[in-house]
Amino acid sequence: MTPDVLSAGPQELEALLEEAGQPRFRGRQLFRALWREGVADYAAVTVWPKALRTAMAQRAPWGRARCLAEQRSPDGTVKWLLAFPDGARVETVLLPHDYGYSLCVSSQVGCAMGCTFCASGLSGRLRNLTAGEMLEQVRFANTYLAEADPGARVSRVDLMGSGEPLDNYTATVRFLRLAHEPEGLGLSYRHMTVSTSGLAPRIRRLADEGLPVTLAVSLHAADDELRTRLMPVNQAYPLEAVMEAAAYYWRRTRRRVTFEYLLLRGLNDTPAQARQLVALLRPLDGGAHVNLIPWNPVPELPWQASTPAAAARFLDLVQAGGISCTIRKEFGRDIDAACGQLRRREEGMRDSQGLWVIPPRPGPG
């Protein structure tokens, strides 16, 4: 079987090179070339003799993701539709911040969770991504930055693109560990976020991994009835189970848990719901932070964004309840920035051999 080189760690690559009759250090050289240097193919691993490059290209081939489409927003957000060698497509979004760049990484092609507000869930889950395919998204963004902003690299990754990362648990944890490797991308665990729809048993398992990553739980409602309407997964793991798992994560890692809350006009943004949210999170005793997210309209879906006044009132009430709370800055509203939107728009278009630059969608809604 062909080894999955892009999902291998330095020691596994050492073993691979040893099997090929090479000194083990050649494996580390390959890992560094793959992720620190971001080489395009074996031919570019110039620390190796040419004969070894040729031999390994036959023995253990791998292929980079290619870009099918790119959208750039005036606010600096860049979104790519990437295709892997088997044709599977995912979206990756680069976001500029004061501190540098974060990348919103996809963990699955599509998603099985079926959240009613999400474009990624509309076609279901097509397949899991490998750890290497998640790393590829970061490598791609770093390659882009090398030209767009020389010296800059992705310094934070958020597993918040398409897919439920904890539904692809093994590959997700492997990705986190490999992204942290100092000879590769060298990302701090503290600068990685795993976003989940609330798979309670997997949250506990992640807490036990000993990785100080941030956990973000998509909450979006503070009562089971509304949450089940918005997120069918709430039937399997209702709020009580999710909150217990989140509290376990907080106790075990001492990493404050972020609760994502999409603000949907007239649906979950009333004062009563803000107070309900406070009551739900208070038992975490300082271990909760609420991230209010302005709704980014998806053409196929009926929801509307909260008014600025309703959003401000909701924020005030949660803060007044003693819960840390902020409103997320809106990024890329003009470029289909909600997860899954670009892939779905592209699905009706024919594939291209090169880069497609798509004009911005005209206004929200």
Q: Does 104 participate in catalysis according to the annotation?
A: no
Residue 199, Cβ density class (10 Å: 0-12 exposed, 13-18 middle, ≥19 buried): buried
Q: Rounded to whole angstroms, how far apart are CA atoms 116 and 230?
A: 5
* Least distance in angstroms from the C-beta of 26 to ligand SF4: 39
Judge whether 197 is annotated as a binding position: no
Residue 109, Cβ density class (10 Å: 0-12 exposed, 13-18 middle, ≥19 buried): buried
Nearer to ligand SF4, 38 or 332 (CB): 332
Nearer to ligand SF4, 29 or 137 (CB): 137
**Of residues 67, 104, 325, 339, which has the active-site annotation?**
339
Residues that bind ligand SF4 (CB under 6 A): 111, 113-115, 118, 120-121, 162-164, 197, 339
Going through 5-153 in order, the beta strands assigned E by DSSP cover 66-72, 78-83, 89-97, 100-104, 108-110, 125-128
Q: For residue 342, which of 164, 104, 102 has the smallest C-alpha distance?
A: 104
Judge whether 118 is annotated as a binding position: yes
* Least distance in angstroms from the C-beta of 217 to ligand SF4: 11
Nearer to ligand SF4, 20 or 301 (CB): 301
Q: Does 91 participate in catalysis according to the annotation?
A: yes
**Of residues 14, 91, 136, 181, which has the active-site annotation?**
91
Nearer to ligand SF4, 162 or 273 (CB): 162
Cα dist from 165 to 116, 202, 215, whole Å = 18, 10, 11
Contact (Cβ atoms closer than 8 angstroms) between residue 303 and residue 295: yes
Residue 25, Cβ density class (10 Å: 0-12 exposed, 13-18 middle, ≥19 buried): exposed
* Least distance in angstroms from the C-beta of 216 to ligand SF4: 11
* Least distance in angstroms from the C-beta of 358 to ligand SF4: 21
Judge whether 68 is annotated as a binding position: no
Q: What is the DSSP code (8-state) at residue 256?
A: P
Judge whether 87 is annotated as a binding position: no
Active site residues: 91, 339
Q: Which positions make up the binding site for [4Fe-4S] cluster? A: 111, 115, 118
Q: Which positions make up the binding site? A: 111, 115, 118, 163-164, 195, 218-220, 296
